[in-house]
Amino acid sequence: MLRAIFVLVLLLPVLARADYMDHFVIREDVGPHKAPYLGDAKLVLIPVEVKGFPPLGAEALQAFFGPDDPNGFVRYYETASLGRYRPRVVVAPKVTYDTCPLPAAQFPGCAIARGDITALTSGMDMMRDIITRTRDAGFDFTQLDLNGRRGTSDGWADGVMILTNTPFGGLAFPFAFFNRGDNLNGGSGGPLVVQGVKLGHFAIAGEGDRFVMIHEFGHLLGLTDLYDESQRYDGLYLSFMGAWGYDAKVPLPDAETRLRLRWANWHQVQGRQRVRIQPAETTGEVYRLGTGSEYLLIENRGPGAFDRSLSTRGLAVFHVDRTVKLKGDEGAFAERSLDCVECDPFHPYIRLVQADGLYEIEQGRPLYANTDLFHDGRYLRPGFPGNALAQDNLTLDTNRYSGEVTGWLIDDIRLQEDGSFEVTLDAPGEGQCGERLCAEGEGCAPVTCGESTAPRSGCAAMPGPALPAIALLLLEERLRRRHQRRLRGA
C-alpha cells in the first residue's frame, strides 16, 4: 500500500531510468528498483518496538517468517512461485524505543495519517536510525547480498522489511529515490550503504501485522497496487496485491502478476484447442488468449493452502490491458499511487471477468465464487462489432475495450474429478506464438502454443464446432441484456 506522500516526487528531479513498482514494464532493473524475484534470496526482518504499544512476539515472528509455517511468508512465496523464488528471512535484533521515534506533536499516538506528506522527512530519518541501530547491534548486512539480476550478488540487498508495533499502517518505500541526506557511508543521497551493501527500498508494516508484510514485500519485487485507491470499488480480487482483508485467507497472485514474475507455466492459445487446466496453486498454469498489450488470461482457482476465501473451484478469467497507466519513466510510480491502475472499474489494468455478467464487483460488491468464476455451462464468446464495455453497456463478451471483435472464445467448460477443468479455447489460428517475456529461462516463453492439453477420449475431448453463427450470438446477447435489465429493475 503506497501512501499519497509520494506526490512530493513530482517536485524532485526526474531522470530517464527505469521506474520503481512498474509491474515489469522494465524487467532489467533488479537492484536499483526491484528485489530479485527468482532463485534463492536472503531477506532481513527488523522488529521495531516502541514502549507503550503491544509487544511483538519474538517466537511468532520467527515462526511466520521461517520456512516451516505452512501459512507463513516463506511458504506463501514458494507456493506462489512454484518454488522458483526461494526467500529465507533472518530476524535481526529488535530495535527498541522508549518513546515514538517520530515527533509527538506532529504524529500523536505515533500514527501516520494516510496521505500525510509531512511524514516524508521524519519517516526517512526514522528508517535511517533503525538501520544504524541494527548495524551497531552487530547485524551482518553482507549476508543480504545473495542474489541479483543475473542470479549472483550485485551489491544490493535482496530485501529489507521493518515490522513495528505502532499504528504505522503499511508502506513500501523507495528510499534511494527520495534520499537527499546521509547515506551512512560518508556521502549523501541515493541508497543507504551499510558494510558495502546498498539498501534502496524498504517494506514496512505496523501494528505487528505480519500478513500486511506479504503484500508490502510484493512492491519490492516490482509490483504495483491492484486495489482501487479512489475507493469506488475494491479493485482486483484473487490477488495478494489487490482486494484482500490482510488476514490469514491470503490469495495467490493473479494470473497477470504470476506471468510477469515468471512464476507461471504459460500456455499460448492458437486456433481452436481442447485443454485441461490444472489448479494454479500446484501447476501455475495460465492460458492466454491474444498477444500484445491486451489479452485474456485463464487459470483454475479454488480453496487450498491459500485462496481459502474461495468457497468453490472455478476458472478465473482476467481481461488485461497493459496500456493502462503503466510506464517505465523514473518517478511514474508516484502518479500510480494517486491515480491507480485499477481506479477505473470498467477499464482497469486487470479486470476479473465475472461469469454471471452482472458486474457486481465494479459496483462495490464482493466476489462470489459460485457466480463470478466460470463453471460448467458458462462461456465467454465474441460480441457485436463495435460493442465496447461501459458503465451503461454491461456487455459480457471477448471484445477488446475498443469494441473490436477478437474471435477469442471460452466454451464447453467441464469440471473433472481431479479438480481440473476441460474447456474449449479459441484464438486466431496463426501469429500467436512469437512473443517472449525475456531471452531465456523458466517463464520467458509459453510452455505450449496451439497444442491441446486435454486427453483425446470421448466427445468432450474432440475439437469443437466452428464459431457460432452471428445470428445465434446476436440472439444470446439480446437475451442476456434483457435478463440484466430485469435484474436491475427488480
Q: Residues 102-137: pLDDT tens digits? A: 888 888 888 876 555 556 778 899 999 999 999 999
What residue type is 261 in one-letter code?
L
pLDDT for position 336 = 86
**Helical packing angle, 73-80 and 210-220, nearest 10°:** 50
How many beta carbons lie within 10 A of that of residue 185, not counting itself? 14
Q: What is the pLDDT of residue 56?
A: 95
pLDDT of residue 111: 82
* Alpha-carbon separation of residue 462 from 268, 272, 273, 420 (angstroms): 19, 10, 9, 17
- Do residues 318 and 352 make contact, with C-beta atoms less than 8 angstroms apart? yes
Provide the residue type at 121 as one letter. Answer: T
pLDDT (0 to 100) of residue 325: 94
Closest CA to 128 of 193, 78, 80: 193
Q: List strands edge to edge, sheet with 421-427.
A: 271-277, 421-427, 409-415
CB 349 within 8 A of CB 228: no
* Cβ contact 79:308 at 8 Å: no
Q: How much is the pLDDT for 123? A: 85
Rg (C-alpha) for the chain, rounded Å, is 23
Contact 283, 265 (CB under 8 A): yes
Give the cell for residue 168.
504505522
Residues 6+ apart with CB under 8 A from 483: none
Judge whether 322 and 304 are in contact, CB under 8 Å: no
- Give the model confidence (pLDDT) of 222-266 as tens digits: 999 999 988 899 999 999 999 999 999 999 999 999 999 999 999
- pLDDT attached to residue 456: 65
Residue 478: pLDDT band (50, 70, 90) is low
State CA 67 to chain mean position distance.
Answer: 22
Q: Encode 190-202: b = buried (16+ Cβ within 10 Å), e = exposed.
A: bbbbbeebbbbbb
Give pLDDT tens digits for 429-472.
999 999 999 999 999 999 999 988 888 654 444 444 434 434 44
Strands 421-427 and 271-277: antiparallel
pLDDT > 90 in the chain, percent: 78
Q: Which amino acid appears at position 115 of this protein?
A: G
Most confident segment among 7-11, 26-30, 119-123? 26-30
Which is more confident, 482 or 136?
136
Burial 424-440 (b: 16+ CB within 10 A, else e): bbbbeeeebeeeebeee
Average pLDDT of the residues in 30-52: 97
Q: Average pLDDT of 191-195?
A: 98
What helix, strand, coil percent values describe the chain, rounded to 5?
20, 20, 55
Percent of the chain at pLDDT > 70 equals 88
C-beta of residue 425 within 8 angstroms of C-beta of residue 318: no
pTM summary value: 0.90
Partners of 343 in the β-ladder: none
pLDDT per residue as tens digits for the range 336-368: 888 899 999 999 999 999 999 999 999 999 999
